[in-house]
Structure 1
Amino acid sequence: MKTFKIFGLLLLATVSVGHAQDINQAKKAIDAEKYEEAKTILKSILQAKPSNGMASFLLGNVYLNQSVKDSATISFGKGLAATEAARFNHIGLGQMDLDRNDTIAANAKFILATKDMRKKDFEEYVYVARAYMNAEKPNYKAALAVLKRAIVNNPMDAQVQLALGDAYYGLSNQNDAYKAYRDAFSADNTLLRAKMQLGVLLKGAKSYDEASKAYNEVIAINANYGPVYRELAETYYKIARNKPSKAAENFKIAIDYYQKYMDLTDYSIHSRMRRADFLILAKEYKALEEEANKMIELDKVNPRIFRYLGYAAFENGNVDKAIQSLETFTSNPASKIIAKDFQVLGLAKIKKGTSADGLAIDPIAFESGLVSIKKSIEMEPLAVEDLNEVGKKLFGQKLYKEAAAIFELGANNAESKTYLDDNLYLGLSLYYANNKKDVKPEVAGLQKADAAFDKVLVASPSYYEAYIFKARTNSLMENDENTIKFYEAYVAAVIAKGTEETAKPAVIKKIAESYNTIGATYANTDKVKAVEYFNKTLAIDPTNAYALSSIKQLK
C-alpha cells in the first residue's frame, strides 16, 4: 500500500510536469504565431484537466488575438471556475473591458487578478501590462506603470524585459526599448522575439538595411522562426515604397517573405486575413482575389472576407462584384468598418456610372458614389489624400464638374498633404467647367474657384500662375476691377522674375493676354488707357492680331 501511494505521488508529479511542459509548448507556439497549433495544445490540456485556469486564459488570449470575442469570453469564464490559476482569467476579461472603453471595470478585474500575489510572483503584472498594450486603444503608460511593479523583485526576468521593451516602443522611447530588448535576450537567448524586436526598432528608424541584418541574425539561430519573415516582408515593403526605381523587385521579395511566414505559422482564416491586409498594402490585387476566394471557402460568414473581395474586384475591373461585396460588408453590424471601405465603394459606384469612352458619368451614379466617399472622410479626414489622383484622372478626362467635386473634399483640409494641389485643381476645374461655349458661367462655382486660388497664393506666394487664373475667373464673372487687378499682379510677378522668365514664349503669350484683356476692359470707358495696353502687347508681340485690330477700331 505504501509502495502504491509513492507510485501514485510520482504519477501525479509526472502528470503535473507534463501539463507544465504542454503549457510551455503552447506559449512557444503563441510566440511563434502558430495560433492553431497553440489552440490544439491548450484544448488538449483542458480536455485532460478542465481545472487548468492558465490553459483557459491562454486559449482566451489566442481567441482575442484572432478577434473571436465570443469564444474568448467563454474560455475566460471557464477559467474563472478552475481550481488552478483562475485569477489570470480576470486579466483577459479586463482586456475585453478596455476594448469597450470601460476602464473602471477593467481596473477592478486587474485588482482581482493581482490581489493574492506572492512576493516572488510577477507573471500577473506582465499579463496585465500586455492587456493594456493589446487593447484596441493601447495604453502604454499604464502598461509601463504595471511593469515597474514587476521589476521590483524580478528586474532581469526575460518576459518582464520583453514587455518593458514593447511598452517603451509604444511610447516611442527607442533607447529604453533597445536596452530592454537587449536585456531580455541576454536573460534568455532562446527568446528570439526579443532579438527580432531589435530589428523592428531599426525598421522604425528607417534603417532598413540594418534591420534586415538584425533579422538575418535571428534566422541564423532558428531559420524556422516564422515571425521574423513577416518583419522582413514588412521591411522590404517599406524599402519598395522608398525606392520607386526598384519597387517591383522589392515588392516581390516582400511577398515571398510573407509566403514563408505563412508556411511556417498556419493557414487559418485569421492568418490568411493578415496576409490579405499585407497584399492590400503591396497592391497585389490578383493575389488578394485568390486569397479572398480561398477564405470564403473556409468561412462563408466572416464579414471581413467581403472587404477583400470588394477591394480585389474593384482593382481588377469587376465593379459590380466590388459594389455587391462592399455593400454586404458595410451593411453588416458585425463589420469593423474603416474609411477605405466606403472610399472604395464610392469609387466603384462612380466607375460603374462612367461611360465606356470615359467622357461622361451618370450624375445619379456619381452622386451616390460621392455620398459613400464623404462617409469615408467623416471617419478619417485625411482619407482625402487618396482622392487627389482620382480627381486628376477626372480632370484629364475633361470631366471638370466631377473633378471639382472630388478636389473640393481635400481643398477644405489644411492638414492634408495634398491641400495645395487640391486647391489649385479645384480652382482650375471650376474655371474650365464654366469656360465652355455652351455653358452659362455659374457665379457660385467661379467664386469657389477664386477662393481656391487665394488659398494657393497663401500657401505658395511664389506661384504666380494663380494670378492669371484669378484674373480669368473674375473675367468670367464680369468683375472688371478684379480682372484688371489680377492680370496686372500676374505681369508684375513675372517681370519680378527677370528677363529670362519674360523671354519664354509661353509667358510672352500670357503677358499679351493680360494686356489685351485689360485693354478690352478699358475700351468702353477709357480709350486712351485701352490703346496704351494694346501698345504694350505690341511691344512684346508686334504682330498680335487682336491688339492691332483693337487699336484700329478705337482710332
Structure 2
Amino acid sequence: MNKFKIFSVALLASVTVSQAQDLNQAKKAIDAEQFENAKSILKSIINTKPSGRASFLLGNVYLTQNIADSAKIYFQKGLSAGEGAKLNYIGLGQLELDNGNIAAAQTNFALASKDVKKKDVEEFVYIGKAYMAANKPDYKSALAILSRAKINNSQDAQVLLELGNAFYGDKNQNEAYVAYRGAFQADPTLIRAKMQLGVLLKGAKSYDEAIKAFNEVIAVNPNYGPVYRELAETYYNIGRNKPSKSVESMKSAIDFYDKYMSLTDYSITSRMRHADFLVLVGDYKALEIEANKMKQLDNVNPRILRYLGYAAYENGNLDLAKTSLESFISNPANKIIAKDYITLGLVKIKKGTSADGLSVDPIAFKEGLAIIKKGIELLPIAAEELNEVGKKFFTQKLFKEAASIFELSSSNKDSRNYLDDNVYYGLSLYYDNNRKDVKADPIALQKADAAFANVIAASPGYQEAYLYRARTNRLLENDDVMVKSYQDYIDKTTEKGAEEVAKPAVKTKFIEAYNNIAVIYSKTDKVKAKEYLNKTLAIDPANQYALDALKSLK
C-alpha cells in the first residue's frame, strides 16, 4: 500500500510538472500568435486533468478569435477546475465589458483579485489586458490596475510589457518606450517587448527606423511570426503615404504577411485576418483565392460572403458580388461595416453603367448611392475611398454623378483626399451647370463656390481654385466675389514668376479675367474698366472684345 501511495504521489507530481511545461508551451504559442497550436495544447491539458488556468488561457484564445460563445463556456468550466480557477472571473469580466456592463465586469475583476498576495501580479496583469482587449478599450483603467501591479513587483517583465501597451493605447509614447525597454531588460527572452519598440516607431510614422527595429527582432529570432505582420503593416503604410513607392511597398507588405501566415497558422480565423489585410492592400486576385479556400474550410461562415463580394466586384464579376454582399448584409446576426454597404452600392451603380462607361441608369445610380450613404453614416472617413470612383465619372464627363460622389467626402476635413475631393466636387458642379442644354442651378453653384472656398482655405497657393471660383460666381452673377476671385487668381499666378505668366494657357486665362473685371467696372468706373481692357490688349493686341469694349467706353 505504501508503495502504491508513493507511486501515486510521484505520478501526480509528474502530471503536474508535465502540465506546467505544456502551459508554458501554450503561452509561447499564444504570444507567437499560433492560436490553433495553443488551443490544441490547452485542450489536451484540460482533457488530461481539469485546469482553471488552462481553461482561462483557452477562453482568452477564443476571445482573441472573436468566438465569444466558446470563450464563455471555458471560463465557466474553469471556475470549478482547481488551480488558477479565479482567473476565469477575469475572462467573464471581459465579456461583460464587451457587452457594456462595466459594473458587472468590475465585480468579476474583484472576485479574481480577492486575497491576492502582496507580491502577486498575475491577476492584475490579466485584468489590465482585459480592459485593453475589450471592444471599447479602457486604457485609463488598465493603467490604474497595472500601476498597482508595478508597486507589487516593479521588475516583472509582463507587468512592464502591459504597462507599455496601456501607455501606447493612451497615446503616451515616451512612457510606453520606457516600459517596453524595461520589460526587455528585465527578460531578454520577452521578444514581444523588443518588437513593441518598433511598433512605437511605426506609430510615429518613422517607417525606416521601424523597419530597422523589426529587423533587429528577426536577428534575435527569425521564426517569431508577429514581427513579420508588423513589417507588412509598415510597408503598407509606406505605400499609402509615399505614392512613388506604392507598388514596391505593397508587394513587400504582401510578402511579409505571407511569411507571417507561414509562421502562425492557416486556420479559418487566421485566413480571415489575412483576407482583411488583402483588402487593405487592394490585392483582390489573391483575396478571391483566399476566399475560395475559406469556403472549402467553412462553407457556413458568413464573413466569407463579404470577401467573395469584395473580390468579385473588383475582379468584374458583378452578379456574384451582388448576391454575396446582399446575402451577408441581409443577415441581422452579421456585424456590417461601412465597406460592405459602399461596395454593394458601387456594384449597383456599376451594373447600371453602360458598357462604354458614358451613361448610367439614373434609377440604378440613385439606388446605389443610397446604399453607399448607409456606409458613410457608419464611418464618415470611409468616403475617402470613393475618390477614384468620382474621378472616373468626371473623366467620362458624367459631372452630375461625379458631384454626387464627391459630395460625400468633400466635407470631411479628416479625409486624406479632402483637398482633391473639394476640387473635383466644385469642378463637377461647375461643369454640370455651365452647359447650353441646361438651366444653371443656383443651389448647386453655391455648393461649388463653397467647395472652391474650402480649397483656397486649405491651399491658398492653388491659383486654379480662384479662377474657378470666379467663373462660378460669374454664373451666379455675384459680381463682387467674381471680381475679387479673378484678381486673386491674377495675383497668385503673378507671384509664381514671369515664367508662369508667360505660359500660353495662363495668358488666355488672364485675358478672361481682365475682360470680365472690365465688364463690371464699366458700370461704375470707366477709367478702371479701360485699365483692365488695356491689360488684355497688352497680351493680345488683336483681342476683338477688348477693342470693341474700349470703343463703347469713349
TM-score normalised to structure 1 length: 0.91
Pair 1:266–1:547, CA change in 2 (3 A) = same
Tell me which moved more, 209-218 or 110-119: 209-218
Match of 1:276 in 2: 275
Match of 2:306 in 1: 307
| Aligned positions, number | 554
Q: CA deviation at 1:102?
A: 1.6
Tell me which moved more, 337-346 or 85-94: 337-346
Q: How does 1:53-68 map to 2 (within 5 A)?
A: 53-68=52-67
Structure 1, unmatched stretches of 5+, are: none
Match of 2:384 in 1: 385
Distance 1:145 1:303 in 2: 39
Match of 2:294 in 1: 295
Q: How does 1:130-529 map to 2 (within 5 A)?
A: 130-478=129-477, 486-487=485-486, 490-491=489-490, 501-517=500-516
Does the 8 Å CA contact 1:404/1:425 hold for their aligned counterparts? yes
Tell me which moved more, 83-92 or 452-461: 452-461
CA deviation vs aligned residue, 1:187-226 (integer Å, no higher than 9, x gap): 3333222232233233333444443343344334433322
Distance 2:92 2:392 in 1: 50
Distance 2:518 2:147 in 1: 78
Tell me which moved more, 101-110 or 273-282: 273-282
Partner secondary structure for residue 444 of structure 1:
helix
Does the 8 Å CA contact 1:295/1:305 hold for their aligned counterparts? yes
Distance 1:210 1:307 in 2: 36
Match of 1:108 in 2: 107
Q: CA RMSD, aligned part only?
A: 2.9
Partner secondary structure for residue 542 of structure 2:
coil
Distance 1:185 1:366 in 2: 56
Pair 1:81-2:77 in alignment: no
Partner secondary structure for residue 410 of structure 1:
coil
Q: CA deviation at 1:519?
A: 5.8
Distance 2:505 2:270 in 1: 57
Distance 2:71 2:509 in 1: 69
Q: CA deviation at 1:107?
A: 0.5
Does the 8 Å CA contact 1:122/1:154 hold for their aligned counterparts? yes
Q: CA deviation at 1:522?
A: 8.1
CA deviation vs aligned residue, 1:514-555 (integer Å, no higher than 9, x gap): 344456678899999988865553343122244456667899
Match of 1:48 in 2: 48
CA deviation vs aligned residue, 1:83-104 (integer Å, no higher than 9, x gap): 3322111100111111122211
Distance 1:414 1:242 in 2: 17
Pair 1:530–1:289, CA change in 2 (3 A) = same
CA deviation vs aligned residue, 1:328-357 (integer Å, no higher than 9, x gap): 222222322222222222222222222111
Does the 8 Å CA contact 1:326/1:341 hold for their aligned counterparts? yes
Does the 8 Å CA contact 1:303/1:334 hold for their aligned counterparts? no
Q: CA deviation at 1:423?
A: 2.7
TM-score normalised to structure 2 length: 0.91
Distance 1:455 1:384 in 2: 17
Identity %: 66
CA deviation vs aligned residue, 1:220-253 (integer Å, no higher than 9, x gap): 4433322222223223333444554444333333
Q: CA deviation at 1:402?
A: 0.9
CA deviation vs aligned residue, 1:360-404 (integer Å, no higher than 9, x gap): 111111112211222222122222322233222211111111111
Q: CA deviation at 1:314?
A: 1.9
Distance 1:401 1:67 in 2: 43
Q: CA deviation at 1:128?
A: 0.6
Distance 1:521 1:192 in 2: 73
Distance 1:331 1:342 in 2: 11
Distance 1:177 1:519 in 2: 63
Tell me which moved more, 363-372 or 283-292: 363-372
Distance 1:195 1:480 in 2: 64
Pair 1:37-2:40 in alignment: no
Q: CA deviation at 1:485?
A: 5.9
Does the 8 Å CA contact 1:110/1:128 hold for their aligned counterparts? yes
CA deviation vs aligned residue, 1:164-186 (integer Å, no higher than 9, x gap): 22222222333333333333333
Letter in 2 for 1:66: Q
Distance 2:215 2:523 in 1: 80
Distance 1:277 1:93 in 2: 28
Tell me which moved more, 265-274 or 76-85: 76-85
Match of 1:20 in 2: 20
Tell me which moved more, 224-233 or 530-539: 530-539
Pair 1:61–1:425, CA change in 2 (3 A) = same
Match of 1:544 in 2: 543
Q: CA deviation at 1:270?
A: 0.6
Q: CA deviation at 1:445?
A: 1.7
Distance 1:2 1:481 in 2: 108
Distance 1:525 1:200 in 2: 65
Distance 1:227 1:128 in 2: 23
Pair 1:27–1:440, CA change in 2 (3 A) = same
Structure 2, unmatched stretches of 5+, are: none
Q: CA deviation at 1:414?
A: 3.5
Does the 8 Å CA contact 1:434/1:441 hold for their aligned counterparts? yes
Partner secondary structure for residue 412 of structure 1:
coil
Distance 1:155 1:493 in 2: 61
Pair 1:120–1:525, CA change in 2 (3 A) = closer
Distance 1:366 1:471 in 2: 31
Partner secondary structure for residue 152 of structure 2:
coil
Q: How does 1:88-127 map to 2 (within 5 A)?
A: 88-127=87-126
Q: CA deviation at 1:111?
A: 0.2
Distance 2:108 2:233 in 1: 36
